[in-house]
Amino acid sequence: MNKQEAQDKILNLTKELNYHNHLYYVEHRNEISDQEFDLKMKELEALEARFPEYKQSDSPTQRVGGEITKEFNTVRHRFPMLSLSNTYSKEEIIDWENRIKKIIDHPLTYVCELKYDGVAISINYKNGVINQAITRGDGVQGEDVTTNVKTIKSIPLKLRNDFPDDFEIRGEIFFPLDRFTRLNEEREEAGEETYANPRNTASGTLKLQDSSIVASRGLDCYLYSVTGENLSINNHFESLSKALHWGFKAPKEEDNMVKKVNTIDGIMEFVDYWDKKRNELNFEIDGIVIKVNDYNLQAELGTTAKSPRWAIAYKFKAEQVTTILENIIYQVGRTGAVTPVAVLKPVLLAGTTVKRASLHNSDQIEKLDVRLGDTVKVEKGGEIIPKIVGVDLDKRKADSQKINFIEHCPECGSELTRKVGEAQHYCPNVHGCPPQIKGKMEHFISRKAMDIDGMGPETIDLLYKNHLANNIADLYKLTKEDVLPLERMADKSAEKLIEGIEQSKKIPFERVLYAIGIRYVGETVAKKLAKAFKSIDSLATATYDQLIEVDEIGDKIALSVLEFFKEQDNNTIIEKLKSFGLQFQLSESELEGQTEKLKGLNFVVSGVFKIYSRNGLKETIEKNGGKVTGSISAKTDFIIAGENMGPSKLEKAQKLEIPVIDEEKFNEMI
Ligand SMILES: NC(=O)c1ccc[n+]([C@@H]2O[C@H](COP(=O)([O-])OP(=O)(O)OC[C@H]3O[C@@H](n4cnc5c(N)ncnc54)[C@H](O)[C@@H]3O)[C@@H](O)[C@H]2O)c1
Ligand SMILES: [Zn+2]
């Protein structure tokens, strides 16, 4: 490679890696796999070593990859938060040990632990009470996400036993897999796009402004290091035992989640054990971290600008297998979205037999250029559902044909539509397409919606097949005599079913609003809309501007609501449901104390209060028509400050000339 080529390559890689870092840390998504990213990083490192004169000042090899956004208060780390050098090869673990042995010439103890795949957090405890939680950010400064972190149940608010007065503990916040699957099921039910992978969703969740949503997601956290001054801890292993003792969730020796070893063989054994067993965990790990145990030796080895020399991460390669693409089927969801699914010759991958893989949409099929009969590479990477990542073209049959995405609905034959700018095809036959009709009823009766006792998807299927119910309003016309002849229905169960339907008439408005299945109106959005509009009639007549005025309601949701009420069929069904006595407005008790005194005003709440609890204050603002946001901006009208308001918030308020008031003053306003 000549100098000019090297310079160009270094410039390009620097730009490219910085771009992917931004996507990953700020937008919580990725366009390339971690492995590809790491490969490019290694390439850049090698080039910079050969041609140091071309190294860029913003080179990603020299810095921790994260950034600071303006959505939270920025806080400087007391001790920098570094990255870890990583490798995918076992030989490099040996090289790493050899480098260490050149500096330290007596026997060493290593600690092996899991490399949790989530987001790093640093939490400060003062006198045994959680004080502040900061993201890694750029390693020097992070963002204050204390309110969100406090909602994570495994992170203690108060410590037990003999904790130090003031210290920092660091760990990885992650999305448990069962919760992640459940979240995606709920989103699918609400017609919302599902999340691609747990890591990105964990990091996105941690940065939400509404901590009640964070709380509902069920994030979890493993702690992996303790830092501070004069802690009287001598080594890493001891720090983990102490963390457990103080009440943190830290890896335990008895689960083999952490292990002290003295040899490379011991390290390899741990690596191999978890490479096999990792699929049994309820969270994702992307490798193993190996650390020199003794703190004095760690200090002797020191750090580079980016990572400690006393630790290394061994990363697992994404598991990949090849199999045959036997067929492509098309599934029609409740919202009419058509999803192509690959039917595969069954193959064992990551501990489970895989028969299906997601293909997302027609763009994806086009991009991969998969064809029936192809030998395809299937991977279980960051995503939960395996995906096809490539085709073995050498094995392609000469007569294979390009796949043409279907033009008509496989269920009802309607011509499919696709909006400009959207990747998904839809069946427009909303009120006549069986999976859409049944899907809407299934959603309506589901636990978080009307929660109708004694009724499940099988009942819906039977009711539909026997022409007893064709839409959600029909359910309220059912009688015991209607349902008794159905399969597996006895006197008792028929009675229970009708009783369950009757009982559902008491379900509060916000859940009815969720149940009627407006696209993009999930549980949380339904709550927000119910609170803001108070009745279905005022929601139905709301304008676009009134809709987006509501906290967290954006363009997509607003347009979807407008579209829903434009359709006569929907209004007819709502009128019918009203006549059956369902709740289409907030109840008297919910309306009580509601005013519009603070209408149009934006508040930020900061500090500790005397008259109100923090949540109580927020509720009072909302009850009186005001809006609460998490951070100060030019749109903020008032800041209600209690004791210990953060200095950076105060500074920002002064800079933007936003009035800061106390609780008494606020009470006068209402
Ligand atoms: N796909 C993409 O576009 C893209 C973009 C940027 C970064 N990435 C991925 O992120 C990596 C860089 O991220 P990084 O700097 O956080 O490095 P890293 O994730 O490879 O390693 C450092 C981090 O590991 C975490 N960790 C988990 N378990 C740990 C344990 N037991 N002990 C100590 N730390 C533990 C800590 O949060 C620490 O900050 C890249 O190597 C790449 O894989 C991917
Ligand atoms: Zn259809």
The type of residue at 627 is K
Pair of tokens at residue 94: 């040996």
Closest residue CA from atom 41 of ligand 1 = 38
Structure confidence at residue 311 (pLDDT): 98
Looking up tokens 């508040």, which residue turns up?
603
CA distances in angstroms from 625 to 552, 597, 615, listed in the order given: 15, 6, 15
> Terminus-to-terminus CA distance in the chain, angstroms?
72
For residue 298, what is the enclosing H or E element?
Answer: helix 295-301
In the structure, which protein residues have their CB atom closer than 6 angstroms to any atom of ligand 1? 20-21, 23-24, 30, 32-34, 37-38, 64-65, 83-84, 86, 113-116, 120, 136, 172, 224, 289, 313
Distance of CA 208 to the CA centre of its chain: 10
- What is the 3-state secondary structure of 156-214? CCECCCCCCCEEEEEEEEECCHHHHHHHHHHHHHCCCCCCCCHHHHHHHHHCCCCHHHH
In angstroms, what is the span from residue 414 Cα to ligand 2's centroid? Answer: 6
* Per-residue model confidence (pLDDT) at position 161: 92
pLDDT band of residue 666 (cuts 50, 70, 90) is very high
Rounded CA gap, 159 and 299, in Å? 28
Contact 113, 281 (CB under 8 A): no
Task: Report percent pLDDT > 90 for the chain.
Answer: 70
Q: Residue 180's pLDDT band (boundaries 50, 70, 90)?
A: very high
- CA 85–ligand 1 middle distance (angstroms): 9
Report which protein residue has its CA nearest ligand 1's atom 21. Answer: 84
Q: Which ligand is nearest to the CA of 439?
A: 2
> Residue 24 Cα, ligand 1 centroid: separation in angstroms?
11
Domain ranges for the chain: 3-62, 85-315, 320-395, 434-505, 509-591, 602-669
DSSP 499-539: HHHHHGGGS-HHHHHHHTT-TT--HHHHHHHHHHH-BHHHH
With a cut of 90, say whether residue 519 has pLDDT above it.
no
Q: Which two tokens stand for residue 36?
A: 């590809």
Query: How many Cβ atoms sit within 10 Å of the Cβ of residue 23?
Result: 15
Instruction: Name 608's bridge partners.
Output: 643
Distance CA 199, CA 173 (A): 9
Residues 38 and 316: their CA atoms lie apart, in Å, by 12
Strands 337-349 and 425-426, by their bridges, are antiparallel
Options 3.40.50.2300, 1.10.150.20, 3.40.50.720, 3.30.460.80; CATH of 509-591? 1.10.150.20
What integer pLDDT is reported at residue 420 of this predicted model? 84
Q: Pairing mode, if any, of strands 141-143 and 74-76? A: antiparallel
CA-to-CA separations, 335 to 56, 325, 338, in angstroms, rounded: 49, 27, 9
Q: In this structure, which residue's CA is closest to atom 6 in ligand 1?
A: 21
Q: 19-40 pLDDT, tens per residue?
A: 999 999 988 888 888 888 999 9
- Mean pLDDT for the stretch of residues 624-632: 82
CA–centroid distance, residue 149 to ligand 1 (Å): 19
Nearest bound ligand to CA 18?
1
pLDDT reported for residue 384: 65
Q: Which of 55, 115, 380, 419 is catalytic?
A: 115
Per residue in 381-421, pLDDT (tens digit) is: 656 678 898 999 999 998 999 999 999 999 999 999 998 88
Query: What pLDDT band is residue 184 in, cutting at 50, 70 and 90?
Result: confident
The position carrying tokens 């910079």 is 48
Residue 444 pLDDT more than 70? Answer: yes
Quote the CA–CA distance of 89 and 317 in Å, as a whole number. 9
Q: Which long-range contacts (CB under 8 A, 24 or more apart) does 295-303 make?
A: 295/233, 295/234, 295/235, 295/236, 296/234, 297/104, 297/108, 298/236, 300/103, 300/104, 301/100, 301/103, 301/104, 303/82
Residues belonging to the binding site for NAD(+) are 34-38, 83-84, 113, 136, 172, 291, 315
All residues at 6 or more sequence positions from 371 whose CB lies less than 8 Å from its CB, including other chains: 325, 391, 396, 400, 401, 402, 403
pLDDT band (50, 70, 90) for residue 648: confident
- CATH class (in words) of the domain with range 85-315: alpha beta
> Could you tell me the distance, in angstroms and rounded to a whole number, from the CA of residue 71 to the centre of ligand 1?
22
Residue numbering of the annotated binding site for Zn(2+): 409, 412, 427, 433
- pLDDT at site 488: 85
Ligand 1 atom closest to Cα of 306? 15
Q: Which of 14, 32, 84 to mutate to test the pocket of ligand 1 (most atoms within 8 A of CB)?
A: 84
Residue 79 confidence (pLDDT) above 80: yes
* Segment 437-455 mean pLDDT: 92
Ligand nearest to the CA of 37: 1
The position carrying tokens 């929660």 is: 451
User: Distance (Å, rounded) from C-alpha 80 to C-alpha 355?
Assistant: 46
Angstrom distance (rounded) from CA 34 to CA 175: 18
User: Is residue 192 over pLDDT 80?
Assistant: no
* Predicted ipTM > 0.95: yes
For residue 193, the one-letter residue type is: E
β-sheet bridge partners, residue 396: none
Query: Would you state the pLDDT for residue 625?
Result: 83
Structure tokens at 492: 């008792």
Q: What is the mean pLDDT of the chain?
A: 92
Class of domain 3-62: mainly alpha
- Band (422; pLDDT cuts 50, 70, 90): confident
Instruction: State the ligand closest to the CA atom of 45.
Output: 1
Rounded CA-CA distance 390/379 in Å is 9
Atom 29 (ligand 1) nearest CA: 115
Query: Binding site residues, as ranges?
Result: 34-38, 83-84, 113, 136, 172, 291, 315, 409, 412, 427, 433
The 10 Å Cβ neighbour count of residue 277 is 12
pLDDT grade for 274, boundaries at 50, 70 and 90: very high
Task: Evaluate whether 112 touches 259 at the Cβ level (below 8 Å).
Answer: yes
Select from 13, 24, 175, 293 the residue to mutate for testing ligand 1; criterion: most ligand atoms less than 8 Å from CB: 24
- The dotted CATH code for 434-505 is 1.10.150.20
342 vs 372: CA distance, rounded Å: 9
**Residue 374 Cα to ligand 2 middle (Å):** 29
pLDDT tops 80 at residue 457 = yes
pLDDT at residue 566 tops 80: yes
Tokens of 449: 């919606």
Q: Between residues 76 and 591, which one has the greater pLDDT? A: 76
Q: In sequence order, what are the beta bridge partners of 354?
A: 347
Residue 622: its pLDDT value, please? Answer: 83
Q: Which two tokens stand for residue 281?
A: 């965990």
Whether 202 and 346 have beta carbons less than 8 Å apart is answered as no
Q: Are 614 and 147 in contact (CB under 8 A)?
A: no
CB atoms within 10 A of CB 597: 12
CA–centroid distance, residue 633 to ligand 2 (Å): 46
Query: What per-residue confidence (pLDDT) applies to 276?
Result: 87
| Rounded Cα distance, 240 and 223, in Å | 8
Q: What is the CA radius of gyration of the chain?
A: 28
Least confident of 108-117, 414-423, 537-546: 414-423
**Contact (CB, 8 A) for 30 and 204:** no
Q: Do domains 434-505 and 509-591 have the same CATH topology?
A: yes
> If you take atom 11 of ligand 1, which residue's CA is the nearest one?
34
- Each residue of 40-75: pLDDT tens digit? 999 999 999 999 999 999 999 999 988 888 789 999
Which of 40, 83, 284 is the best mutation target for the ligand 1 pocket, counting ligand atoms within 8 Å of the beta carbon and taking the most?
A: 83
Asked if pLDDT for residue 472 goes beyond 70, the answer is yes
666 token code pair: 């606020």
What integer is the mean pLDDT of 346-366? Answer: 86
CA of 84 to the centre of ligand 1 (A): 7
Annotation says 115 is catalytic: yes
Residue minimizing CA distance to atom 15 of ligand 1: 83
Which ligand is closest in space to the CA of residue 437?
Answer: 2
Taking 70 as the threshold, does the pLDDT of residue 340 lie above it?
yes
Please name the residue whose Cα sits nearest to atom 17 of ligand 1.
83
User: Between 596 and 285, whose confidence is greater?
Assistant: 285
Superfamily of domain 602-669: BRCT domain (3.40.50.10190)
Nearest to 515 by CA among 429, 586, 574, 464: 574
CATH code of the domain made up of 320-395: 2.40.50.140
Dump pLDDT digits (tens) for 283-309: 999 999 999 999 999 999 999 989 999
Phi, psi angles (nearest 5°) of residue 169? -125, 140
Atom number, ligand 1, closest to the C-alpha of residue 64: 15
Nearest CA to ligand 1 atom 32: 224
Work out whether the CA dihedral 151, 155, 156, 157 comes out positive or negative.
Answer: negative
What confidence tier does 627 reach under pLDDT thresholds 50, 70, 90?
A: confident
DSSP H or E segment with residue 330: strand 319-332
Give the three-class secondary structure for 413: coil
The ligand 1 atom at the shortest distance from the C-alpha of residue 38 is 41
The pick from 26, 115, 284, 314 for probing ligand 1's pocket by mutation, whose C-beta has the most ligand atoms within 8 angstroms, reads 115
**pLDDT, tens digit (0-9, with 9 covering 90-100), for 134-175:** 999 999 999 999 999 999 999 999 999 999 999 999 999 999
Centroid of ligand 1 to alpha carbon of 288 (angstroms): 11
Whole-number Å distance between alpha carbons of 155 and 68 = 24
Ligand 1 atom with minimal separation from the 41 CA: 41
